[in-house]
Chain A
Amino acid sequence: SYVLTQPPSVSVAPGKTARITCGGNDIGYKSVHWYQQMPGQAPVLVIYSNSDRPSGIPERFTGSNSGDTATLTISRVEAGDEADYYCQVWDSSTYHRVFGGGTKLTVL
């Protein structure tokens, strides 16, 4: 089955840029989606189809995908961005939805 690998944690100072990676074999050929989960709350979609933003998501959130790595980039990080972030793809060989292990973003 397809495996997605994320760093357990990323730390960034307010106002700086955070980059959260999601690794997978030839992930560049897949469509990657990203979710934000605040403590005690349900996940919220922040990026879909590699780089598209749902309505209401700030432009500070961008996504890219190439080769074996997809990246969620959060510019001008704010304290309110502190959360867990998960990447997700669809595995065409099994029809399963696959999540990465999640990355905890800490704003210093």
Chain B
Amino acid sequence: EVQLVESGGGLVQPGGSLRLSCVASGFTLSDYEMNWVRQAPGEGLEWVSHISKSGSTTYYADFVKGRFTISRDNAKNSLFLQMNSLRVEDTAVYYCARESTVQYFCDHWGQGTLVTVSS
């Protein structure tokens, strides 16, 4: 069974940093590209970042570019999101999502981890 388990969320002050992790099981992480998607309280889904199978290629939404860094450790079945210079508007549940090998959609999602940015 495919499982994605996020961790690392919590309360942080504006300007602070957090590192989110996502541990994958039930499949070989190196066979899949991966995404982070977030959802602010009461709002819709918002794509954050994407990483290729090897980690050599990454993409970011404009609102996080230069502040967030996506990375992966395939040997440890793990995906990461380093978040720096956090803003109040970054408050959201952050989901780790596996991208299908067929096309550009997410076929499995984790349960998410809540990041709250507040003073």
A positions within 8 Å CB-CB of B: 1, 31, 33, 35, 37, 41-45, 48-49, 54, 84, 86, 88-90, 94-102
Q: Determine whether the beta carbon of B59 is less than 8 Å from that of A96.
A: yes
Interface residue from A48, A84, A97 paired with B102 (Cβ < 8 Å): A48
CB-CB under 8 A for A99 and B105, given A1-B62, A43-B95, A48-B100: no
Residues of B within 8 A of A1 (CB): 62
Other A-B pairs, 7, CB within 8 Å; known A33-B105, A90-B104 = A42-B109, A43-B45, A44-B109, A45-B105, A88-B105, A88-B106, A97-B35
Residues of A within 8 A of B35 (CB): 97
B positions within 8 Å CB-CB of A: 35, 37, 44-47, 50, 59, 61-62, 95, 100, 102-107, 109-112
Q: Determine whether the beta carbon of B109 is less than 8 Å from that of A99.
A: no
Q: How many inter-chain residue pairs (CB < 8 Å) link A and B? A: 67
Which chain A residue lies CB-closest to B57?
A: A95
Residues of B within 8 A of A101 (CB): 44
Residues of B within 8 A of A89 (CB): 104
Which chain B residue lies CB-closest to A8?
A: B44
Docked complex Cα distance between A108 and B71 (Å): 45
Q: How far is the CB of B35 from chain A (nearest CB, A)?
A: 6
Top 3 A-B pairs ranked by shortest CB distance? A90-B104, A33-B105, A102-B44
Q: Determine whether the beta carbon of B59 is less than 8 Å from that of A31.
A: no
Q: How far is the CB of B82 from chain A (nearest CB, A)?
A: 19
Docked complex Cα distance between A48 and B37 (Å): 18
Residues of A within 8 A of B62 (CB): 1
Docked complex Cα distance between A43 and B35 (Å): 13
